[in-house]
Structure 1
Amino acid sequence: MSERPNVLFLLTDQERYDLTAPDSPTDTPNVDRLSEEGMRFTRAYTPISICSSARASLLTGLYPHNHGMLNNAHEADAIQPNLPPGLATFGELLAESGYANAYVGKWHVGRDQGPGDFGFEYHGGADRHHDADLAGDFEDHREELGVDVSEEDLEERIYTGGEQPTLVAAVDPAPVEATRPYYIAERAIERLRTGVDEPFFLRADLYGPHHPYVVPEPYASMYDPADVERPESYAETFEGKPAVHEQYLHYRGADAFDWETWAEAIAKYRGFMTLIDDQIGRILDALEEEEGLDDAMVVHASDHGDFVGNHRQFNKGPLMYEDTYRIPLQVRWPGVVEAGSTCEAFVSLHDLMPTFLDVAGVEAPGVDGRSIRPLLEGEHPEGWPDGHFAEYHGDEFGLYSQRMLRTERYKYVHNGPDGNELYDLESDPHELNNLIDHPAYDEVRSNLESRLLERMRETDDPSRGGARTCSADGTVGF
C-alpha cells in the first residue's frame, strides 16, 4: 500500500442518511459494498444543510461563519458569491504536494469560480442552474444521442402548489445513458482509463438525489408507492414548534400534498438513488479494473439530506432535523480500514478536508474540522467530540439564524428569531415533541445551552455574544 494513497471521493447531492442504512428499503448494492469492505459511520453530520455553504466547508475545513459563504452562491441574494481569497482548500494543498487532482460533476462553490481555481482539473458535467460558467458539455452529450427532452415532455409530473410551482418528481422518457448521473460516471471512468498520474485524487460530484426526482425507466417504476411506509414524523402537528416550521410548509407549497402524492415522490427519490448507486458501481468497477489502483481510498458522502415528506416538508430549510443534517459516510481503504466495521463517533463533513490532507502527508492549516484518520485506523482519540455543532443562516427567502448541538441523546436548537427547541431523541427519535419549556428538562436545557455557547466561542462564531435563551412562547432570558 502506498504511503500516499490514491483517493476516489464520491459526493452525492441531498442524500438522506437512511437511504443507505442497513435497514433501508432502497436498493444500493454498491454503496453497501463500500460499507461491507470498509467502515460505515453512523453519526456523520453536515455543518450546515444548504449546498454552497456545506461544499465550501468541505473544501476549507471551516464552519460557514468562518469561510463566509452562508447561503447558496447562485442566488441573487448570496451573501458571499465566491469563497473569500486567501482561504486554504484541500484541492490546492494536495496539488501543491504533488497530487494529480481531477473533478467531474456539480461544483456550486462560487458564482464565477470553478474547480480549476482550487487545484483541480475539471472534466465537465455541471448544470446551468448551479454552475452556468462550467456547463454545456452534458447538453452536447444529449444532442449527440439525439435526445431533446423538455420539462413538458416529462411524464407523471408532480409539482408543489403556490404561485410558482416547483417540479418535484417525474418520469424521464430518455434512456439511462442520457441522464446526468450516467454522464458524470462516464467522465470519471474516462479519467481513470486514460491513465492517471499517481498519487491522484478523483472527485465525482453526482447530481442527485436532489429534487426534482426525474428518473428514467427502469428506475422510475422500481419502487411501488403503495409499498412506501409513511414516516413517523409525517404526524407533525407543529404544536410547540417555531412558527417558521409551519410557514415553511406553505412557503414551499408542500401543504398541497396528501400522503399519496408524497408516496409517489418518495418512490421516485428512491429510484433516483438506485440510479446513482448503479453509476457509483460503474466507477468502482473501473477503478478496480485498473492495475495498481485496487488499494485506493474510496470515500462516499453527501453534502446534506432531504425531507422528502418527513415532517410533511419538501427540500430543506430552517428546520434542524436529522432528515437534513445527518448524512451517509462510508470509507473503504484496504490495508487500513477494517472491512465491515462501524464507527459511532460524531464526525462532520468538514472533517474530510483535514482527513484528505492527513492521509496525503500534508499538514493541515488551522481549521475547524479534524482528521478522522485515527477512527479509520480503529482508534478513538481522547477528547473526541461527544456531540455535533451545526448552523444555518437562511437561503433564498432571507436570513434566519440557527445553531444546533446534537449529543448522543439530545438535540438543542437555538433559533435567533424565534423560540428554541429541545428534543429527547431517546424517547422521541422523530423529533415531534419540543421539550424546551418542559420543567423536567430544565437542567438538561441549561447544560446544552452552556455547551452550545462554549462551542460558539471556541469556533469564533460572531453570533456568540447575541445568543440568548428563548422559550417556545417567546420569553427571553439569559
Structure 2
Amino acid sequence: MSDQPRPNFVIFMPDQLRADAIDAFGNPHISTSHIDALAARFTNAFVQHPVCSPSRASILTGWYPHTASHRTLTHLLKENEPNLLRIGLPRDLGRPPAETPSPPASPSRASTSTASRPGPPSATRATTDGVWSRLFYRSRVPDDGRIDPGEAAIRSAEQWLAAPPEQPWVLFVPMVAPHCPFQVEEPWFSRFDRDTVPDPAAPADDPAREPRYMRAIRDRYGIEDVTPEQWREVVATYYGMIARLDDQLGRVMKAVADAGAADDTVTLFLADHGEYLGDHGLIEKWPSAMHDCITRDPLIISGGGFEGGQVCDSMVEMIDVLPTVLELARVEAPHRHFGRSLTPLLMDRTGPHRQYAFTGGGFTEEEPQLEQPAFPYDLKSALQHEVPTLVGKAVAVRDQEWTYVWRLYEAPELYDRAKDPQERTNLAGGASTPPSSSGCATRCCAGSWRPPTSSRPRRTRAFPRWSCPRPEPARDSRPSPPAPPHLQGAFHECAVHWLEEPRLVTPASRKAPVRRWKLKPRHPFRACPGDVGVWRQMPVLVVIQAR
C-alpha cells in the first residue's frame, strides 16, 4: 500500500442511527441501496458512550470517554486535544482545513416549527399535544422549498466536490438525521407501510430485573400505554428519514465520481449511537443506556481498493476509527490513543482484532448535572436531577456472545446475545446463569477480567500531560474529605484498563498483575467510580467494591 498515492476520505456521519435499521445489517423492511453498496461492514462495532458529544469525542480522539472526562453533551474537545479532523489529517497532509462553502440560497431557513405541519394520523390526532410530543414525533414535513441542516450539508458537499483540491483531501459530512424529532417530507414519509414495519421489542418479562431508569421514563413520559399502531407510525417515519439519508449519501458518492476521485477515495459511514425507537417501551436514548440498539454502530468502510461485500463479525470499538484512517493516510498519530487499526480486517475479515468491546456512561450521585434542556427534553432532564441514581455510572463489556453491565447504584446485568439479541432477559444472579463452560460469562459472573500475560501497553510515545492527568501517588498524605453517605465503609480499587485488551479486575482475581490501594472514597485520586486515569503509563478504571 505504501507504493500507492495516499487516498482521499469522505467521512459520512449520521446522528442516532441504529445499525439494525439498515438493509445491509439485516433489516428486510427497508432498502438502503447506496449504503449497502459500500464495501466492508462491521457487524459488531460498538460506541464507547451512548450520547452524542461524548461518543463523537471518543471517535475523533481514539480515547475512551473518561480519559479526558468527555462525558457530557457540553464538555467538547479543546484546542489542545487531539482531533482526527483537525490535527491528525489536514496538517500532516500538507494543507489547512478547507473552508466550508455557504449552503445555496433557499426561500427561507429551515424551521423547527410544527404550526404548518400536519399532525399524526387522524385515528390518534386527539393525542397530538400529549403522547406524540413525548415520542418526539412531528409527522410529515411540508415540501415548501425550505432546507434543513442535513440538506445544507449535502449541498455544501456537492458544491465543494465540484472543484476539489489536487492533493489528498478529507470531506467530513455530519448529518442530523435520523435524530429526533421524527419528521420527514415526501416521498420518504409515505414510503413505508405502517402495517408492515416491525413492532418494537417488548419490555423485559421481569421489570424488576431491568435498570430503574426504564420504568421511570415510561412513567414520567406517559408512554406506558402507547399502542402498537403508534409505535409503528414512529418507526415508519424513522425509516423514512433513513431512506432520505441514503439518497443523500448517493448524491455525495455521485459527486465524488463526477470529480474523478472515486478510485482514490475511502468512504467511512458511521454513527455516534443508536435509538430505542420503542424497544423496551422507550424512545430516544439515555446517558447510562447500554442496550444493543443504542450502542451498536453501523460502521462501514469502502473504497481504497478494498474488496466489496465483506462482512466482518470481529469485535470492534469505535475508537478504532482514528488509527484506521491514520494508517490508510500513512500519517503517524501525534498522541497516544487506545484504538487499533482495522486495516488488517479489511484485508482478512477473519483475522484477530479484539475479544471485547467496552461502553461507559452515566454519572455519580454527587456530580452536577449540567444539562437543562427545554421541551421536549425537559422531563428527561428533570428525572436526572430529581433522582441522580437513575443515571448512575455504568460500564458494559461485550464479546461475540455475551453482554455484561456493571452499574454503580444497581445490580449488574448479563445477557446472552446469541439467544437474546435484544437483551431483554437479565441472567445475572438468576437460576439461568450460564454454566462455567461459557468463558466470557463465567468471568463476568465471577467479576474477574484478567489481562493476558502477553498484553502490555504500547509505549511508542509518552501520554500527553495535558490530555489525561495522572493520579497522585498512593503515599499522598493530604487529609481525606468525608465520604458521601452512600459510600461509607467502601474503598476504591484501581483496575488496569489495558491498552491492548481492557479488563475489569476485582478481588476475585488475586493473581492479576494490578496493584490495589484500599483508600477512603475520593482520596487520594480525587476520582469518582468509573473514572479513568493513568497510573505509571497505564490507564486505570476506578471502581467501588464493598469491604
TM-score class normalised by the smaller sequence: 0.7 to 0.9
In structure 2, the partner of 1:309 is 278
In structure 2, the partner of 1:228 is 197
Q: 2:449 aligns with which of 445, 448, 451?
A: 451
1:464 aligns with 2:541: yes
In structure 2, the partner of 1:57 is 58
In structure 1, the partner of 2:336 is 366
Measured after TM superposition, the shift of residue 410 of structure 1 is: 0.8
Q: 452-461 or 303-312: which moved more? A: 452-461
Q: 1:166 to 1:261 in 2, by over 3 A?
A: closer
Alpha-carbon distance in structure 1 between the residues aligned to 2:145 and 2:319: 33
CA contact (8 A) 1:61 1:367 kept: yes
In structure 1, the partner of 2:123 is none
Q: 1:162 to 1:69 in 2, by over 3 A?
A: farther
1:412 aligns with 2:385: no
Q: 1:156 to 1:442 in 2, by over 3 A?
A: same
In structure 2, the partner of 1:29 is 33
Alpha-carbon distance in structure 1 between the residues aligned to 2:496 and 2:130: 40
Alpha-carbon distance in structure 2 between the residues aligned to 1:23 and 1:177: 31
In structure 2, the partner of 1:273 is 242
In structure 2, the partner of 1:155 is 118
CA contact (8 A) 1:236 1:312 kept: no
Q: 309-318 or 269-278: which moved more? A: 309-318
What's the RMSD between the two structures over aligned residues?
A: 2.8
Measured after TM superposition, the shift of residue 236 of structure 1 is: 5.3
Q: 1:331 aligns with which of 274, 281, 301?
A: 301
CA contact (8 A) 1:169 1:268 kept: no
Alpha-carbon distance in structure 1 between the residues aligned to 2:154 and 2:400: 37
Q: 1:68 to 1:100 in 2, by over 3 A?
A: same
In structure 2, the partner of 1:83 is 77
CA contact (8 A) 1:10 1:301 kept: yes
Structure 1 unaligned spans of 5+: 74-79, 102-118, 125-136, 469-476
CA contact (8 A) 2:9 2:266 kept: yes
Measured after TM superposition, the shift of residue 248 of structure 1 is: 2.4
Which has more helix, going by share of residues? 1
Q: 2:16 aligns with which of 14, 26, 31?
A: 14
- Map of 1:89-168 to 2, 5 A cutoff? 89-91=83-85, 92-98=87-93, 100=95, 119=97, 121-123=99-101, 141-143=106-108, 150-157=113-120, 161=130, 165=134, 167-168=136-137
Q: 1:149 to 1:305 in 2, by over 3 A?
A: closer
Measured after TM superposition, the shift of residue 441 of structure 1 is: 3.4
- Map of 1:335-350 to 2, 5 A cutoff? 335=305, 337-350=306-319
1:203 aligns with 2:197: no
CA contact (8 A) 2:50 2:289 kept: no
CA contact (8 A) 2:266 2:304 kept: yes
Q: SS of the counterpart of 1:466? A: strand
Alpha-carbon distance in structure 1 between the residues aligned to 2:355 and 2:129: 39
Structure 2 unaligned spans of 5+: 121-126, 364-370, 372-380, 386-390, 451-493, 503-530, 534-539
In structure 2, the partner of 1:291 is 260
Q: SS of the counterpart of 2:293? A: helix
Q: SS of the counterpart of 2:36? A: helix
Alpha-carbon distance in structure 1 between the residues aligned to 2:349 and 2:400: 19
Measured after TM superposition, the shift of residue 347 of structure 1 is: 1.2
Q: 210-219 or 449-458: which moved more? A: 449-458
Measured after TM superposition, the shift of residue 204 of structure 1 is: 0.2
In structure 2, the partner of 1:45 is 46
In structure 1, the partner of 2:454 is none
Q: 1:169 to 1:143 in 2, by over 3 A?
A: closer
Measured after TM superposition, the shift of residue 338 of structure 1 is: 1.3
Q: Deviations over 1:354-394 (max 9, x none)?
A: 11111111112210112111111226655x21111110125
Measured after TM superposition, the shift of residue 281 of structure 1 is: 0.4
CA contact (8 A) 2:16 2:275 kept: yes
Number of aligned positions between the proteins: 426
Alpha-carbon distance in structure 2 between the residues aligned to 1:305 and 1:253: 22
Q: 1:241 to 1:150 in 2, by over 3 A?
A: closer
Amino acid at match of 1:27: S
Alpha-carbon distance in structure 2 between the residues aligned to 1:166 and 1:431: 22
Q: Deviations over 1:125-146 (max 9, x none)?
A: xxxxxxxxxxxx68x63418xx
Q: 342-351 or 300-309: which moved more? A: 342-351
Alpha-carbon distance in structure 2 between the residues aligned to 1:97 and 1:433: 49
Q: SS of the counterpart of 1:88? A: coil
Measured after TM superposition, the shift of residue 2 of structure 1 is: 4.1
Alpha-carbon distance in structure 2 between the residues aligned to 1:59 and 1:249: 34
Q: Deviations over 1:107-132 (max 9, x none)?
A: xxxxxxxxxxxx563446xxxxxxxx
In structure 2, the partner of 1:184 is 153
Q: SS of the counterpart of 1:141? A: coil
Q: SS of the counterpart of 1:465? A: strand
Measured after TM superposition, the shift of residue 100 of structure 1 is: 4.8
Amino acid at match of 1:155: P
Alpha-carbon distance in structure 2 between the residues aligned to 1:160 and 1:245: 23
Q: 297-306 or 223-232: which moved more? A: 223-232
Q: Deviations over 1:308-331 (max 9, x none)?
A: 001111001132110010010111
Amino acid at match of 1:329: L
Larger relative contact order (Cα-Cα within 8 Å, sequence gap ≥ 6): 1
CA contact (8 A) 1:142 1:148 kept: no
Q: 1:447 to 1:150 in 2, by over 3 A?
A: same
Alpha-carbon distance in structure 1 between the residues aligned to 2:243 and 2:145: 12
Amino acid at match of 2:408: G
Q: Deviations over 1:387-438 (max 9, x none)?
A: 1111012574255200010111111000111111011122222211111112
4+ runs deviating over 4 angstroms? 157-166, 234-237, 379-382, 442-446, 452-455, 457-460
Q: 1:286 to 1:451 in 2, by over 3 A?
A: same
Amino acid at match of 2:212: A
Q: 359-368 or 264-273: which moved more? A: 359-368
Amino acid at match of 1:18: D
Alpha-carbon distance in structure 1 between the residues aligned to 2:107 and 2:315: 42
Q: 1:160 to 1:442 in 2, by over 3 A?
A: farther
Q: 1:292 to 1:316 in 2, by over 3 A?
A: closer
Q: Deviations over 1:21-58 (max 9, x none)?
A: 23431121100111xxx111111111111000011111
1:423 aligns with 2:415: yes
Amino acid at match of 1:28: T
Alpha-carbon distance in structure 2 between the residues aligned to 1:392 and 1:95: 31
Q: 1:295 to 1:175 in 2, by over 3 A?
A: farther
Q: Deviations over 1:140-172 (max 9, x none)?
A: 63418xx87732112124868589856323110
